[in-house]
Amino acid sequence: MSAVDERTIYAKLEAMKDIRSKTLQLEKLKLKIIREVENGDAEEKCLSEYRRELELLMQEKMSHVEELRQIHADINAMETVIKQAEENRIRSINMANRVHEEYVPLKTEVDSMRRDYLGLERLPELHEEEGTIISPDRFQNYYTANKSLSTPSATFSRPPLSAHHPLPPDAPATSLPPSAPPGFLPPPPVAMRINKPPELPTNRLQQAPSTIGIGHPTFSRQQPPPMKSCLSCHQQIHRNAPICPLCKAKSRSRNPKKPKKKDH
């Protein structure tokens, strides 16, 4: 066998070795591709199920949001009904009190006429009638409140000045000293000296009284906080709220701030 034939055989053996190793690597890659394709198909099926479940959850969420909105509407309606019922109750109580004011003197007059002219007993009171719903102290609070409002307030009377500075009973109105020269005028009485206002300098009388400016308090109207609509339940929430308090969804700004570029 010549050297050329040996080199040819060696080259073929090396090629067969490379082909075998690359064939094994190709089989491994093929199996890996098949396995990944199967995984992708399985994940696709799971993904479709996940999306369907997400849609159901979103529908349930919106139904709960609608229920919550309906509950808020029912609460507002019930508060309105309660307010109207309270106003009707107060109106009925006031009307009953006013009618009772007319009823009491008329009943007193009728009872007096029955007793004086016919010798009959008085008519029963409202709370004494059979099957009545009026209690004995039903109108007592109303008359007590009116009596307290109609009580006159005490007046304050200032005592006379002579009570603070009484004159001695035995002292004369005017008295001259024993060694007074002729033509000497007696001093004014004590009461006149007390009541006489002190004399002020001329320059003080000419001064105009100073005016004191009274400032009126200023009330500033408080502005409502900035609000925005939730992207999930469309309810009004605070602009800086990170999470909606109704649907618990994360609140995202429609105009997010762009990050500043750092200068290198």
Convert the pLDDT of each residue in 191-210 to its tens digit.
444 444 445 444 444 444 44
Convert the pLDDT of each residue in 144-183 to its tens digit.
666 665 555 444 444 444 444 444 444 444 444 444 445 5
Nearest to 164 by CA among 125, 202, 183, 191: 191
Alpha carbon distance 85, 93 (integer Å)? 12
pLDDT of residue 56: 94
- On the question of pLDDT at 77 being above 60, the answer is yes
What letter represents residue 36's amino acid? E
Q: Which backbone phi and psi does 165 adopt, to 5 degrees? A: -125, 75
pLDDT of residue 217: 47
Convert the pLDDT of each residue in 92-138 to its tens digit.
999 999 999 999 999 999 999 999 988 888 888 888 888 888 888 88
Alpha carbon distance 33, 35 (integer Å)? 5
194 touches 161 (CB < 8 A): yes
218-255 burial, b for 16+ CB within 10 Å, e for fewer?
Answer: eeeeeeeeeeeebebbebebeeeeeebebbeeebeeee
Mean pLDDT value across the chain: 75
Q: Which of 48-52, 181-185, 223-227 has the lowest mean pLDDT?
A: 181-185
For the four alpha carbons of 34, 36, 42 and 48, in that order, the dihedral sign comes to negative
pTM over 0.75: no
pLDDT of residue 234: 73
Instruction: Provide the 10 A C-beta neighbour count for residue 96.
Output: 15
162, 188, 191, 193 from 165: Cα distances, Å: 5, 15, 8, 11
Q: How confident is the model at residue 253 (pLDDT cuts 50, 70, 90)?
A: low
The two beta strands, 236-238 and 227-229, are antiparallel
Q: How confident is the model at residue 81 (pLDDT cuts 50, 70, 90)?
A: very high
The pair of three-digit structure tokens given for residue 103, joined into one six-digit string: 């009823």
pLDDT of residue 151: 53
More confident residue, 6 or 28: 28
The pair of three-digit structure tokens given for residue 42, joined into one six-digit string: 């399985």
Alpha carbon distance 22, 39 (integer Å)? 25
What one-character DSSP code corresponds to residue 237? E
Residue with tokens 């008329």: 106
190 touches 161 (CB < 8 A): no
State in Å, rounded, how far the first CA of the chain is from the last one.
74
